[in-house]
């Protein structure tokens, strides 16, 4: 009987810890992120007139990342978009591809560990859009929690 009560108490403590950690992750990073995209943010810089915005929705339980781009101006047709790991002014590797070709909106599958990493520290990641004129990126913006 005593062993059963200890097991129940341990399970309750583990559940409470998990809920607290989930709340902390949401408070730190959240599941709704945004980035203001500018050509001048790219490395190397693209035309400053290239502008847009992206809203990212993280769905770690489903293993999905969804996005919606609003492109104000770009000097060429978008070919691809990605979430990269990297701080402002630093080029970084692709962390989560946003589809195989550029689409204004959509969802993609990604490992939960990567989705949680973006949610926990969004400022350590950026989104960019690539085109034929700017293969390294036509516009870019650091992610932040959507207010």
* pTM for this model (two decimals): 0.79
How distant is the alpha carbon of residue 52 from its chain centre? 16
pLDDT tens digits, 46-76 = 999 999 999 999 999 999 999 999 999 999 9
Q: What angle do CA 53, 42, 139 make, to 5 degrees?
A: 30
Q: Which of 54, 25, 22, 81 is nearest to 146 (CA)?
A: 54
Residue 39, pLDDT score:
98
Average pLDDT for the chain: 86
d(CA 39, CA 66): 23
Q: Above 90 in pLDDT, residue 105?
A: yes
- Domain ranges across the chain: 1-30, 31-145
Q: Above 70 in pLDDT, residue 113?
A: yes
Q: Which of 15, 107, 8, 21 is nearest to 58 (CA)?
A: 107
Confidence of residue 30 (pLDDT cuts 50, 70, 90): low
CATH among 2.60.120, 1.20.120, 2.60.40, 2.40.50 for 31-145: 2.60.40
Confidence of residue 25 (pLDDT cuts 50, 70, 90): very low
């Amino acid at each position: 009987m005593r062993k059963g009560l200890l097991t129940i108490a341990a399970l309750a403590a583990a559940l409470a810890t998990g809920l607290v950690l989930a709340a902390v992750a949401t408070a730190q990073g959240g599941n709704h992120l945004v980035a203001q995209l500018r050509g001048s943010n790219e490395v190397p810089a693209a035309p400053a007139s290239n502008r847009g915005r992206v809203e990212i929705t993280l769905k770690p339980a489903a293993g999905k990342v969804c996005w919606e781009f609003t492109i104000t101006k770009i000097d060429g047709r978008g070919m691809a978009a990605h979430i990269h790991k990297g701080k402002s002014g630093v080029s970084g590797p692709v962390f989560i591809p946003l589809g195989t070709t550029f689409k204004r909106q959509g969802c993609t599958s990604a490992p939960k560990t990567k989705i949680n990493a973006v949610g926990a520290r969004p400022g350590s990641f950026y989104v960019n859009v690539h085109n034929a004129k700017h293969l390294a990126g036509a516009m870019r913006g650091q992610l932040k929690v959507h207010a």
